[in-house]
Chains A and B, each alone.
Chain A
Amino acid sequence: MPSPSDLNLSPRFATTRWSLVAKAGSEGSPDERQAALEELCQAYWYPVYAMARRRGAPREEAEDTVQAFFARLIEGDLLPRADQGRGRFRSYLLTSFQNFSNNRHDWAEAWKRGGGKRLVSIDAARAEGRWLSEPVDGSDPEREFARTWATTLLEGVVETLRDEYESSGKGDVFGGLRPLLSGEESESYRELAERIGATEGAVKVAAHRLRRRFGELLRRRIAQTLEDPEEVEAEIRGLFEALG
Chain B
Amino acid sequence: MQNPTKCPRCGSTLAEMGALSGLCPACLLRQGANDPLAFAGPPAAQPEATDLSSVQRDFPQFEIQEQIGRGGMGLVYKARQPRLDRTVALKILAPEIMSQPAFAERFLREARALARLNHPNVVSVFDFGEVNGRYFLVMEYVEGAHLRQLIELGRLDPSDALRLVPEICAGLQYAHEQGIVHRDIKPENILVDARGRPKIADFGLVKVLGQDEDDWRLTRASQVMGTPQYMAPEQMHRPREVDHRADIYSLGVVLYEMLTAELPIGRFALPSERARVDARLDDVVLKAMQREPGQRYQKAEEMRTSMEDIARSPGENRKRNAAREMAWPAGKRIPFKNKDKYDGIFELHGLVGIEEEHLILEFQSLFLGLGGSSKIESMRIPLDQLAFARFSQGWFGCEIRLTPRSLKAIDGFPSGPRGSMRLRFAKRDREEAERLARFLSLSLEG
Contact in complex: A242, B23 (CB < 8 Å): no
Q: Which B186-241 residues sit within 8 Å CB-CB of chain A? A: 224, 228-229, 231, 233, 236-237
Contact in complex: B29, A154 (CB < 8 Å): yes
Contact in complex: B344, A183 (CB < 8 Å): no
Contact with A along B35-77 (1 / 0, CB 8 A): 1011111011010110000000000000000000000000000
For residue B101, CB closer than 8 A to chain A, the reply is no
Contact in complex: A138, B347 (CB < 8 Å): yes
A201 to B394, CA, bound (A): 41
Contact in complex: A150, B29 (CB < 8 Å): yes
| B1, B35, B39, B44: the one within 8 Å of A8 (CB) | B39
A57 to B1, CA, bound (A): 20
Contact in complex: B17, A133 (CB < 8 Å): yes
A154 to B368, CA, bound (A): 28
Contact in complex: B49, A236 (CB < 8 Å): no
Interface centre among B22, B38, B394 (most CB of A within 10 A): B38
For residue A231, CB closer than 8 A to chain B, the reply is yes
Instruction: Say which one of A17-25, A61-69, A108-116, A210-218 lies at the interface with B.
Output: A210-218
Closest A residue to B27 by CB, please name it.
A182
CB distance from B217 to the nearest CB of A (A): 18
Contact with B along A156-169 (1 / 0, CB 8 A): 11110010000000
Contact in complex: A179, B32 (CB < 8 Å): no
Instruction: Say which one of A35-43, A71-79, A98-106, A139-147 lies at the interface with B.
Output: A139-147
Contact in complex: A8, B228 (CB < 8 Å): yes
CB distance from B221 to the nearest CB of A (A): 12
For residue B359, CB closer than 8 A to chain A, the reply is no
| B13, B20, B228, B340: the one within 8 Å of A158 (CB) | B20
CB distance from A30 to the nearest CB of B (A): 30
Total CB contacts across the A-B interface at under 8 A: 164
Interface size on A, residues (CB 8 A): 61
Contact in complex: B26, A215 (CB < 8 Å): no
A215 to B38, CA, bound (A): 5
Contact in complex: A214, B395 (CB < 8 Å): no
CB distance from B69 to the nearest CB of A (A): 15
Contact in complex: A143, B38 (CB < 8 Å): no
CB distance from B220 to the nearest CB of A (A): 14
Closest B residue to A4 by CB, please name it.
B236
Contact in complex: A135, B344 (CB < 8 Å): yes
For residue A58, CB closer than 8 A to chain B, the reply is no
Cβ contacts under 8 Å, B20 to chain A: 151, 154-155, 158
Contact with B along A206-244 (1 / 0, CB 8 A): 001101111111110000000000110110111111111
A156 to B29, CA, bound (A): 12
For residue A130, CB closer than 8 A to chain B, the reply is yes
The verdict on A4 contacting B231 (CB below 8 Å), with A143-B396, A230-B266 known, is: yes
A42 to B277, CA, bound (A): 47
Contact with A along B1-34 (1 / 0, CB 8 A): 1001001010011011111101111111111111
For residue A7, CB closer than 8 A to chain B, the reply is yes
B interface SS class: loop
- Chain B, interface size: which category? 35 or more
| B18, B237, B340, B347: the one within 8 Å of A130 (CB) | B18
For residue A137, CB closer than 8 A to chain B, the reply is yes
A133 to B395, CA, bound (A): 25
Contact in complex: A158, B19 (CB < 8 Å): yes
Contact in complex: B25, A137 (CB < 8 Å): no
Cβ contacts under 8 Å, B12 to chain A: 243
| B49, B224, B368: the one within 8 Å of A201 (CB) | B49
A184 to B171, CA, bound (A): 36
The verdict on A215 contacting B344 (CB below 8 Å), with A154-B28, A155-B18 known, is: no
Contact in complex: A133, B16 (CB < 8 Å): yes
A27 to B382, CA, bound (A): 58
Cβ contacts under 8 Å, B263 to chain A: 233
For residue A205, CB closer than 8 A to chain B, the reply is yes
A134 to B237, CA, bound (A): 45
Cβ contacts under 8 Å, B19 to chain A: 155-156, 158-159, 162
CB distance from A242 to the nearest CB of B (A): 7
Contact in complex: A238, B394 (CB < 8 Å): yes
The verdict on A181 contacting B23 (CB below 8 Å), with A4-B236, A201-B49, A238-B395 known, is: yes
A233 to B1, CA, bound (A): 35
CB distance from B341 to the nearest CB of A (A): 8
Interface centre among A181, A215, A234 (most CB of B within 10 A): A215
Cβ contacts under 8 Å, B33 to chain A: 215, 218-219, 236, 239-240
A232 to B38, CA, bound (A): 13
| B4, B17, B344, B396: the one within 8 Å of A138 (CB) | B344
Cross-chain pairs A/B with CB under 8 angstroms, 17 sampled: A4-B233, A8-B41, A126-B17, A130-B18, A135-B13, A135-B344, A138-B347, A146-B396, A204-B49, A218-B32, A219-B32, A219-B39, A240-B30, A241-B394, A241-B396, A243-B25, A244-B341
Sample of 7 further A-B pairs with CB below 8 A, known A7-B237, A135-B344, A143-B396: A130-B17, A133-B17, A134-B16, A136-B1, A151-B20, A214-B32, A231-B266
Please give the residue numbers on chain B whose beta carbons come within 8 Å of chain A beta carbons, in ascending order.
1, 4, 7, 9, 12-13, 15-20, 22-35, 37-41, 43-44, 46, 48-49, 224, 228-229, 231, 233, 236-237, 263, 265-266, 339-341, 343-344, 347, 368, 394-396
List the 10 closest A-B pairs by CB distance, nearest first: A215-B38, A137-B344, A218-B32, A182-B27, A215-B35, A158-B19, A233-B265, A4-B236, A243-B26, A182-B28
